[in-house]
Structures are given as C-alpha cells and as structure tokens.
Amino acid sequence: MKQIERMKHLSLLIWFLVFQVVIFSSQVFAEEKPVVVCTTGIMADLLKNLAGEQVSIKPLMGAGVDPHLYKPTHKDISLLSGADIIVYHGLTLEGKLEPILEKLRKRGKVVIAASEFGRKDLLLAAEDYENAFDPHLWFDPMLWKLVAVKVSSELSFALPEKASEIQASTAEYLQKLSEVDQWTRQQIGTIPEKSRVLVTAHDAFRYFGRRYGIEVDGLQGISTSSDYGLRDVKNLAGKIIDRKLKAIFMESSVAAKFIESLQEAVQARGHEVAIGGTLYSDALGPEGSGADTYLGMLKHNVETVVGGLK
Ligand SMILES: [Zn+2]
C-alpha cells in the first residue's frame, strides 16, 4: 500500500517538474525576441504594425498619459536600461525623458528618435519656443508615414536577420496610412467651410489642420507644460462667438477644466457652445475603446470633430 502511495507521489512530482520545464522554456523562448521599449502607446502601436511578430514591444506610458509632463519612475529607468532598442518621438515631446535617453545612447544603446527624419522643411515651428518644432506629427498620416519609414529602416539595420519581414509589414502599413488619409479628407470635406475650426485644450492638431484645411486653436501652446492666461480665454471665446462655432473639444490626456472654463466664458457672453466630445491627442484610448490603435484613434477623432461641427 505504502509503495503505491509513494509511486503516486513520485509520478505527481515528475509531472510537476515536466510542467515547470515547459513553462520555463516558453519564457526563455519569449524573452529571445529583442525587447523594444516605446515611450508612448502611439509609438508602440506603430512598432506593432512594423515588427509585431519580430520583437517584444513594451510601452512606457499607458492610455491617457500626457507625454509632455511625464516623469520616468525607477521601474521605467530599469525597463529602458534593459531594452535592446528604444523608440521615442523626439522633438522634445518627451521633454523630461530625453536626458536619460541621451545618456543611454551615449552608452551604445540603439535609441531611435522617430520624428527626427531629416526633413525639417516639412515640420511646423513651435510657436512658444525658439529653434524648436511642433512634435505632434502623428495627426498628419503622410508625416506619420515618414516616421514609419525612419523607424522601419533603423530597426532593420539593428536587426538584419528580421529585416525582410519588417520591410514587408512596413509596406502593408504605409498603404493603410494612405487609405486613412483619403478617408479623413473626404470626411472633413463634409463640414461647412466656415465651421472648419477646431478648438481644443492644447495645440496638438496643427499638422492635422494643415493637412485637411481646418483652422486649429489650442487654449495652451504645443506643450501642456505652458500656461495660458485669461486673455487667451477671452480671445478664443471671441473667435468662437464670431465664427458661430457649435462645438469645442476636450482631450483625453489634458484636464477637462481648461475647456470647461472656455465654454463658461463663451456662454457668459450669450453664445451656446457644446463640448463636442473628447479627442485623443497625445495618448491612445484604453483597450476596447476602439481608439486603442493609431488608426482607431484617428477615426474616432475625425468622427467626433465632424459630428460636433457639422
Ligand atoms: Zn501634446
């Protein structure tokens, strides 16, 4: 009897050990993929489309996080140090992270500044800062294509054994970006011309405005770290009234109070203006929101803007 019990125990133990080995080896296998740390969810989504099968992608900032104000935690610093490749936007979007990234680059890590693709003539100058550029390139899908090409080629250079797969996925994704660009142009075209004014919390949509012929005004400048004054509120309220705008818009990564105070200022002067919804500007939406990918976010924004202004 005792012998049988012992055998049972032994076989259980063997199964347990086999199970452990399977788990361990699958972990080792998963870790074999090069780890690419991306600063924002927007960038992580791009990487997923360019090299999702080839690399293991880890985003630093989650949904709704403002990259202008983001300070890295201790955990982030160890994630960045352990990465094989880091991809960030650059053009000082991630102002507080850049000194660390520079340090890691000097130590020999592959650090890709995605928005710095050598065509400054295509960029908008930052209004509040000298010798600086507006970093919100992703709202012009044609500029985002240039970002995709830059990331894809640097990634292929760093990972030559995966280059052909990366190049193939890139070609496919560039096609999708062209399609969303055409669709956006057609949608914005349905807003009456005089109502094509987009008023939001901060100036994240200037490239979008340039691409699709829509005037853009943010209560704050291109970085949420800048202040705005009562004069800005008054001027913007005046414009909303003059143009008889039906709606202004919140942003998911900027506090609601900024746009609410603007709405109050407009209504105090006798003009009804609605809050047309929340746009995703510097961060993707939460999982399952439909705006949890770049293409989904763009579609959500376009539909919200068209719905509010038409
Ligand atoms: Zn921004």
| Residues 90-132 pLDDT 10s | 999 999 999 999 999 999 999 999 999 999 999 999 977 788 9
Distance 233 CA to ligand 1 centre (A): 19
The per-residue pLDDT for 2 is 61
Strand partners, 57: 36
Tokens 């930052």 belong to 126
The per-residue pLDDT for 26 is 52
Q: What DSSP string runs through 150-184?
A: HHHHHHHHH-GGGHHHHHHHHHHHHHHHHHHHHHH
**296 Cβ contact partners less than 8 Å away, ≥ 6 residues apart:** 284, 285, 289, 290
The per-residue pLDDT for 27 is 52
> Residue 54: pLDDT band by 50, 70, 90 thresholds?
very high
CA-based angle 215:220:223, to the nearest 5?
105
Distance 282 CA to ligand 1 centre (A): 5
Distance 128 CA to ligand 1 centre (A): 13
Distance 163 CA to ligand 1 centre (A): 32
Distance 136 CA to ligand 1 centre (A): 6
Judged against a pLDDT cut of 90, whether residue 219 lies above it is answered with no
Environment class of 219 (CB within 10 Å of its CB; exposed 0-12, middle 13-18, buried 19+): buried
The per-residue pLDDT for 119 is 95
Looking at every residue in the chain, the average pLDDT score rounds to 91
Environment class of 270 (CB within 10 Å of its CB; exposed 0-12, middle 13-18, buried 19+): exposed
Neighbours of ion ligand 1 (CB under 5 A): 204, 282
Which tokens go with 171? 């070609």
